[in-house]
Amino acid sequence: MTVPMKSVLNTDAYDRRRFGQLMEMSDKLKKIGKEGKNIFPFIQPLMSDLWAGLFKMKPELLNDVPEELGMNRQLMERVITDQGYLDFREFTRLDDLAAAIGTTKYSETVLRWVKEQAKQDQDLAETLQKLIQGDQEASQQATDALSAALNQNGSQLSQMLAQAADEVIETKENVKSMLGGIQAGSGDSELKKVPLKEQLFLAEKLSHNKKLKEIAKWAGRMKVIANRKQRSKHKDAIDRNGIRQGSDVEQLLPMELGSYASPISKMDFLHRYAEGQTLQYDTKGKEHLGKGPIILCLDQSGSMKGQDTISKGFALALMSIARKQRRDFAWIPFSSHASDAIIYERGRIEVQDMIRLATVFLDGGTNFVQPLNKASEVIKQSRFNQADIIFVTDGEAHVNNDFLKAWSSLKEQKGFSVLSLLLGKESIRGVEGFSDRIVRASSFEDQSIQQAFDI
């Protein structure tokens, strides 16, 4: 594509080339540039300047610009002197994703404001139309009309830009919630592992999809809980199993470190350390579940529809644990039938797959045997030995004895465990035959659900 070369800021060839690359990556930016020309004739160079203003370290207005860019300069002057913009730049400066989302929101906002002003001001509407039709002689008249509109309604533009900035910050936080791991502060580092084009694709979906926004928020909350549970589990492991002999420096007891620090006992310490006989914390801990892959069987029958968004956040949090611990993850949604398992090796998930997981809902009745059969197929793969199965349902269904016998036999061979999360008030009768543990909870917001994050 042709990279916009006209600018009212101190941009250089790199800036313009970089914005051209972003335009290629982002369907939304391309759409704004294409459709925006019918509202504002110089929208593409304005978009380039809006991006530079958000991304560059020290964006500055040029004093002399071509007459045809008079309107662009007026708009950019209004934008970059606005206090809200100055605050917003702390978030977007040198941040590819934030600056790109900001350019999208700012461009949409400016176009909407110009369109509203043109409806109220006939002179502005007429001169804009002349410019759109190619009459460059109308440039000065259009600049004067825009100047009057800014003097009269510039505060409205500032308010609209402030709202756009808030939406950008929310969108990036949602992207981090979807893509980030369970460790505190890991969101930005996780983002760097995802191509910018995919980040932008997800950001654009999140900007306009209410359900995805809600899932992202729940994913963020669930990951915080999962991180807390995992850290607590590690700490509890020390408390449960006490002390053993070994030579792991990180787990040495304080008294042993004291022995090393003392000139009198240092040689004795070194001798025992070399023999693996120094005292240290035993951090293995006794786990309820195994150490292998994670399989999530997630009820998507009609009665679960009200909890669909939070259940997807729960799934993404479990997947983050799998990713952190480098464990395979399988997702099996079910209702009256079960979908084929989708396997994410070592918990890694592509953006397109994440959006599919977040937006699919089966609806219908409840059948337990079908998802368990799908889980059995997955478990029979050698890499799924010692799997942890999380079975989530708010319903009750019959599981026949022949199936349970085969299930028990497979469990003996493969060494997997099943934790069933039973939501609502249904009887445990439906799940007790195939479960090792059953946790009852009123909903996903019940604290009991957090036990699943002990895996």
Domain extents in the chain = 13-208, 243-281, 294-454
Give Cα 248 distance to the centre of its chain: 36
Answer with the residue of higher pLDDT: 288 or 186.
186
CATH number of 294-454: 3.40.50.410
pLDDT in tens, 100-135: 999 999 999 999 999 999 999 999 999 999 999 999
Whether residue 166 is predicted with pLDDT greater than 50 in this model: the reply is yes
Position of tokens 């051209």?
Answer: 20
User: Is pLDDT of 191 > 70?
Assistant: yes
Assess whether pLDDT exceeds 60 at residue 92. yes
Task: Determine the pLDDT at residue 184.
Answer: 54
148 half-sphere exposure, CB direction, 13 A CA radius: 13
pLDDT exceeds cutoff 60 at 236: no
Alpha helices for 138-262 (secondary structure H): 139-179, 187-191, 196-208, 210-241, 254-261
CB 42 within 8 A of CB 6: yes
Q: What is the mean pLDDT of the chain?
A: 89
Q: pLDDT confidence of 283, banded at 50, 70, 90?
A: low
Instruction: Output the CA angle 26-27-31, nearest 5 degrees.
Output: 120
Q: Pick the residue with more confidence: 278 or 374? A: 374
Q: Is the pLDDT of residue 240 over 50?
A: no
| Residue 232 pLDDT level (bands cut at 50, 70, 90) | low
Answer with the residue of higher pLDDT: 347 or 159.
159
C-alpha to C-alpha distances, 92 to 16, 89, 103, 164, nearest whole angstrom: 17, 5, 10, 13
Q: Residue 364 above 60 pLDDT? A: yes
pLDDT at 397 over 50: yes
Please check the confidence at residue 88 and state whether its pLDDT lies above 50: yes
What does the CA dihedral 403, 451, 202, 116 come to, rounded to 10 degrees?
A: 120
Place of tokens 């070194």: 270
Q: How far is CA 89 from CA 37, 172, 405, in A?
A: 26, 14, 63
d(CA 62, CA 72): 11
Q: Is the pLDDT of residue 154 over 90?
A: yes
Lowest-confidence segment of 131-140, 187-196, 317-326, 412-421 by average pLDDT: 187-196
**What pLDDT is attached to residue 238?**
45
Q: Report the pLDDT averaged over residues 378-389.
A: 88
Is 440 a residue whose pLDDT tops 70? Answer: yes
pLDDT band at 23 (very low <50, low <70, confident <90, very high): very high
pLDDT for 286 beyond 50: no
